[in-house]
Amino acid sequence: MSRMLMMVTAMSIVGMGTQMATAAEAKADSCYLQCKECEKTCLACVDSCLDELAGNADRKNCIKLCLDCADICGVCSKIAARGGPLEATIATACAEACEKCAAECEKHKDDKACQACAERCKKCAKECKEQGKK
């Protein structure tokens, strides 16, 4: 559910009416969407790495980073969707997690899931850095 829809619903419940979406709200929606996509892509990468894990210890770090990144992206998307007071804080942490995950996934050049994860993490990190400046 978009942040605007949640706000309209919440305002109508408390009888406050509606307001036009601001540029900040649109940016938060972008952060929310990037985080949700990144969460899904990281989990797909974990699945792929688990398939490759047999006899390949270097995938353990990739799996751990992808799981952490997916969890942080999930939390960040929820906080961004509601415009929580810790939005900038979690967005900054999410950007850092995404950058670390992307760097690890880029090491596995032969794995399409890892490469997709690296690209998605870079996009998410960029959005979250911007949101973290707010």
**How many folded domains does the chain comprise?**
1
67-113: per-residue pLDDT in tens? Answer: 999 999 999 999 999 889 999 999 999 999 999 999 999 999 999 99
Which domain does 62 fall in, by range? 23-132
The domain that contains 75 carries what CATH number? 1.20.1270.360
pTM of the full structure: 0.73
Q: Is 51 among the domain residues?
A: yes
CA distance 17 to 121: 37
Query: Alpha helix locations (H) across the chain?
Result: 3-14, 23-52, 59-82, 87-106, 112-132
DSSP assigned state of 133: T
Question: Is residue 14 included in any domain, yes or no?
Answer: no
Residue 8 belongs to a domain: no
23-52 per-position pLDDT tens digit: 556 665 788 899 999 999 999 999 888 887
Q: How many CB atoms lie within 10 A of CB 24?
A: 13
